[in-house]
Structure 1
Amino acid sequence: MTTMQDPRHQYPAPPYPQDDQNHPGTEAKMTPKADHGETSYKGSGRLAGRKALITGGDSGIGRAVAIAFAKEGADVVISYLSEDKDAQETIRLVQEAGQKGIAIAGDIQEEAHCKQLVKQTIDELGGLDILVINAAFQMAHDSFLDIPNDEFERTYRTNVFAMFYLCKAAVPVMPEGGSIINTASIQAYMPEPSILAYASTKAAIVNFSKGLAKEVIDKGIRVNVVAPGPVWTPLIPSTMPDDKVKTFGEDSYLGRAAQPVELSPIYVLLASQEASYITGMVYGATGGRPIG
């Protein structure tokens, strides 16, 4: 039985150390350490026999989802950009849970790589039942006028184009009962000017996912979105100013940032057969701040 706890004090709250990292950051340098469910998540076989592809699975929410899926009985392929040590740690944890785990490096900005990810998942695991599109790029600026054009394009290519490429490759080969889960953000609804490029991609993800859900339900595939609020991942100290890192999450009702493991049960639900009547929906996990 899970012990009842006051959610305000369940995990560390600000102020957080200002531990500068270069993008894309690494879990090893996070202070405090993030909880991905290494010991705290308890599985119950809800995804037994499923085959999943998770982008950005080396760290943060992606790692937590990979661990939860494995503990629920799924084999997992994770994609990542270049964070080899983090990716191998995720795979170690997936294998520790008794499931097959494979890490594939590469840049999802490229359509050819997205196609290869889907093909390799099917080749290695024997199918693709669950697609979690989670990898993202962001940078903070004092003004949108300071955003370099190439950085704006990179943000869209990583966050939006890759989603399009991956869905286009996956939908024709996914079985009836398959599930696509896209990661948006509270930023889709309450955009911060300092990360406007990122925020606007998250709005695009919500819109695309709702439209896609209408089409692919004819194939028996569900599409849903998770919209997190502040989550303690390497993306934060590697892309945000020190003062923002120090106070990250304090404006949530809980007064703190979420830990990645607090998001993974939503992905498990949306991937599972228990969510058979759920499609085209956005699930917020924002610590109380409203979406929609």
Structure 2
Amino acid sequence: MSDTPQPPQSQDRQPGFESEMTPRPDYMPRHPGSGRLAGRVAIITGGDSGIGRAVAVAFAREGARVAISYLDEHKDAEETQRAVEAERSEALLIPGDVGAEDQCREIVAKTLSRFGRLDVLVNNAAEQHTVKDLTELSAEQLERTFRTNLFSQFFLTKAALPHLKEGAAIINTTSITAYKGNPQLIDYAATKGAIVTFTRSMAVALSDRKIRVNAVAPGPIWTPLIPASFDETRTAEHGKSSEMERAGQPNEVAPCYVFLASDDASYMSGQVLHPNGGTVVGS
């Protein structure tokens, strides 16, 4: 955690690369594990970097084995795998586009083939693209954003459901933009609002199976999505609008996922946690 702003920087490709960020995001857990996820297996989409990487390492420290889905950021994914293995756990890397339903089915199949079970699904993969106003938003971008951010959550949850047993957990990544909106990220914010409703609907739908469904709505976090989305000036200002006047780090968000995946959250479903730097939003 640092109150020092990040220097100006940008990347010309979505998704961005954590290996090219300055400073590198803090993803390592702050505390020793206590076995809260011992013996469990989790799928984490977008698990190669950013919040997904922090969640993967935090889950590993708590005893889980993880399947890490990512697009094609192989260098970042391999670094995450090494970090998971350093926690004396296992990581399975599965590249591919989660916006395609066939890929989502393959992620589940490969996870089951490698680990033999599935206990936690973290729907975290996302992309965002700025526009000055709605007239700039093409049909192609609109569909692409919805496929990556929202369709993937439907596809993966659908593929995972036959294999989830009582006590399993689904955790969806939404965003502060679902509650505040964003004039330059209209399609992204719309997907994140839909994820809140998807979370609540699935929590009700799966209550009789005793499968919990919750979400996390991060605020401004220092991840590769930021330099990949904004220009140097906007990136340098990232997080200053929060009440804490700084960007959060991925390891300040990951504990929310550990909590929701564990039995500590056994009486929580259909809820959203808000690690956003102090901004008060509707729940």
- TM-score, length-normalised on structure 2? 0.97
Cα distance in 2 for residues equivalent to 1:203 and 1:95? 35
How much has 1:199 moved relative to structure 2? 0.5
Cα distance in 1 for residues equivalent to 2:134 and 2:127? 16
Residue 36 of structure 1 corresponds to which residue in structure 2? 27
Residue 170 of structure 2 corresponds to which residue in structure 1? 180
Preserved CA contact (<8 Å) 2:10 2:230: no
The SS at the match of 1:194 is: coil
The SS at the match of 2:215 is: strand
Residue 133 of structure 1 corresponds to which residue in structure 2? 123
Deviations 1:110-147 (A, max 9, x none): 10110111111111111000000000011111112111
Preserved CA contact (<8 Å) 1:41 1:68: no
The two structures, once aligned, show a CA RMSD in angstroms of 1.1
Q: Does residue 233 of the first structure (1) align with residue 223 of the second (2)?
A: yes
Task: For 1:1-292, list aligned pairs within 5 A.
Answer: 10-14=1-5, 16-37=7-28, 40-292=30-282
Cα distance in 1 for residues equivalent to 2:31 and 2:44? 18
> Residue type matched to 2:22 in 1?
T
Deviations 1:196-221 (A, max 9, x none): 11000000000011011001111110
Structure 2 stretches lacking a partner, 5+ long: none
Cα distance in 1 for residues equivalent to 2:94 and 2:31? 24
Cα distance in 2 for residues equivalent to 1:132 and 1:183? 8
Q: How many residues align?
A: 282
Q: Measured at CA, do residues 259 and 147 of structure 1 come closer, stay the same or move farther in structure 2, by a change above 3 Å?
A: same
Cα distance in 2 for residues equivalent to 1:12 and 1:26? 23
**Identical residues among aligned pairs (%):** 49
Cα distance in 2 for residues equivalent to 1:163 and 1:15? 31
Cα distance in 2 for residues equivalent to 1:31 and 1:151? 28
Deviations 1:214-234 (A, max 9, x none): 011111100000000000001
How much has 1:17 moved relative to structure 2? 2.2
Structure 1 stretches lacking a partner, 5+ long: 1-9
How much has 1:236 moved relative to structure 2? 0.3
